[in-house]
Copies of this chain bind each other. A is one copy, B any other.
Amino acid sequence: MDQTERIIQALDSAGYQATANRRLVAGMVATSGGHFTAADLLERGRRERVNIGRATVFRALELLAELHVIERLDLPSGSHAYVLCDPAEHHHHLVCSGCGRSEDVADGELARLVDEIGQRNGYRIETHRLELFGKCPDCAAGTPPNGAASKASSSAGQRPGGH
């Protein structure tokens, strides 16, 4: 449920200290509501008057990426962003080009297709990456969620309605 806790948990069980700053980053990541850049977090920190250094943010993101709690996306623009995601299984990302929201997408049939392509070309495939960009239901309907691109602030990730 609480994504922030989940992240802190991940840090802890990997043997890293869950320091105040890392908790802070965890919180921002969890409530980002979509993709975000290091600059976004820095900016948000500045706006909320929390004292956190540039290097610390970068180091925290690197750490979380290493733990597969977040993953780096290459946006069509060429810039790098991160998204919170499920560390458990191999998946891809469907990213809203309107509000930045993102969904994890299971690999599914893709594995077979990838395999096939490898065979056809005689390559031994090692990794593959699929990135999907489009408009989420809200943005497609012209009602983008508050704080569009990088801000956003629903406290529970992308699971409206919970359970």
What residues of chain B lie closer than 8 Å to A132, measured between beta carbons?
A: 114, 117-118, 123, 125, 127-128
Any chain B CB within 8 A of the CB of A103? yes
A52 at the interface (CB under 8 A from B): no
Stretch at the interface among A9-17, A22-30, A41-49, A89-97: A89-97
- Taken together as a complex, chains A and B put the C-alpha atoms of A80 and B76 apart, in Å, by 12
Chain A interface, number of residues (Cβ within 8 angstroms) = 43
Q: Mark A39-63, 1 if CB is under 8 A from B, else 0.
A: 0000000000000000000000000
Question: Is the Cβ of B140 less than 8 Å from the Cβ of A121?
Answer: no
Copies of the polypeptide in the assembly = 2
A residues 112-137 touching B (CB-CB < 8 Å): 113-114, 117-118, 121-137
CB-CB under 8 A from A118, the residues of chain B are 94, 132, 134
CB–CB B94/A127 < 8 A: no
A83 to chain B, nearest CB (A): 13
Considering the complex, give the chain B residue whose CB is closest to the CB of A159: B127
User: What are the residues of chain B within 8 A of A78 when measuring CB–CB?
Assistant: 72, 74, 80
Is A127's CB under 8 angstroms from B68's CB?
A: no
Residues of B within 8 A of A90 (CB): 163
The smallest beta-carbon distance between A29 and chain B, in angstroms, is: 17
Residue-wise interface mask of A (135-149) relative to B, using a CB-CB cutoff of 8 A (1 in contact, 0 not):
111001000000000
